[in-house]
Amino acid sequence: MAREEQRALRFDILTLFPEVFGPFLDATMLGIAREKGLAEYHLHNIRDYSRDKHHKVDDRPYGGGPGMVMRCGPVFRCYEAVREMAEPAGRFVMLTPQGRTFDQALAREFSRSDRIILLCGRYEGFDERIREGLPVEEVSIGDFVLSGGEAAAMAVVDATVRLVPGVLGHRDAAASDSFADGLLEHPQYTRPPEFRGMTVPQVLLSGNHAAIARWRRAQATERTRRRRADLLNTQTATTEKNDG
Ligand SMILES: C[S@@+](CC[C@H](N)C(=O)[O-])C[C@H]1O[C@@H](n2cnc3c(N)ncnc32)[C@H](O)[C@@H]1O
């Protein structure tokens, strides 16, 4: 169900390293979103749900091979306890390089949720039964392998929260971002008008808002064509929508 405008988007982050999130969640946009009551971040240490006397959460892989695998017990118990801490159940996202690639469309979907529970892996990843026995949605932040899901969770939280209505200062700030309408963003300039011989395009100094909008649209389209033609192939219709 769509999130009500005034209700905070709740994140529960399941991790073995909650301490790495502190400054990141406190700073700038994410901290302001929390202060405005638009987002909440709850950290949960998976190790607290281990029943092993040494609080172990990993073990050797059956069949042999390098590294360690995250055990079912602590992850199941952690998820089940956290799930009961609030309503609704929300979306349960397993960060894994094997998942659906996170993109702006998924960030927008997440920003309309009430709650997102993020599961961060470590070591060689998860016992397969975690995928089978829990309602996970597998999400990757790209075709590379991180040593843990924490950096991936931070990327997901950041990209999602800035799309929550009311978080960004300017109403349209996210609307012109890259990917918002299927294009990369147009070039941006600020003062001074000339720096080391490089000048700001005259049209941006003209005060002619229609001409500026046309220039930006053309630049965004051209930049996308040169750098990410794959985006144009899937978004041809939307590229024309603001051309007047
Ligand atoms: C070293 S990786 C394990 C990779 C695993 N052996 C595999 O090949 O799928 C440890 C953890 O980092 C996180 N991770 C690594 N790369 C990621 C990516 N591209 N997107 C999201 N999470 C990632 C996952 O939570 C993963 O369980």
In tens digits, the chain (244 residues) has pLDDT values of 455 455 899 999 999 999 999 999 999 999 999 999 999 999 999 999 999 999 999 999 999 999 999 999 999 999 999 999 999 999 999 999 999 999 999 999 999 999 999 999 999 999 999 999 999 999 999 999 999 999 999 999 999 999 999 999 766 677 778 888 889 999 999 999 999 999 999 999 999 999 999 999 999 999 999 999 999 987 554 444 444 3
Which residue(s) pair with 195 in the sheet?
A: 198
**Whether residue 15 has its Cβ less than 6 Å from ligand 1:** no
Both 129 and 201 in one domain: the answer is no
Q: Say if residues 122 and 70 touch (Cβ distance below 8 Å).
A: yes
Q: How would DSSP label each residue in 41-87?
A: EEEEEGGGG--STT---EEPPTT--SS-EE-HHHHHHHHHHHHTTSS
**Whether residue 144 has its Cβ less than 6 Å from ligand 1:** yes
Both 87 and 189 in one domain: the answer is no
- Domain count of the fold of the chain: 2
| CA angle centred on 59, ends 57 and 65, rounded to 5° | 145
**Residue at 2 is within a domain:** no
Domain span including residue 102: 9-161
Both 49 and 119 in one domain: the answer is yes
Nearest residue to 9 (alpha-carbon basis) of 29, 34, 31, 32 = 34
Alpha-carbon distance of 172 to 196, in angstroms, equals 31
Both 40 and 95 in one domain: the answer is yes
Closest C-alpha residue for ligand 1 atom 23: 96
Distance 78 CA to ligand 1 centre (A): 19
Q: 161, 185, 215: which is the final residue of a domain?
A: 161
Nearest atom in ligand 1 to the alpha carbon of residue 141 is 20
Both 123 and 203 in one domain: the answer is no
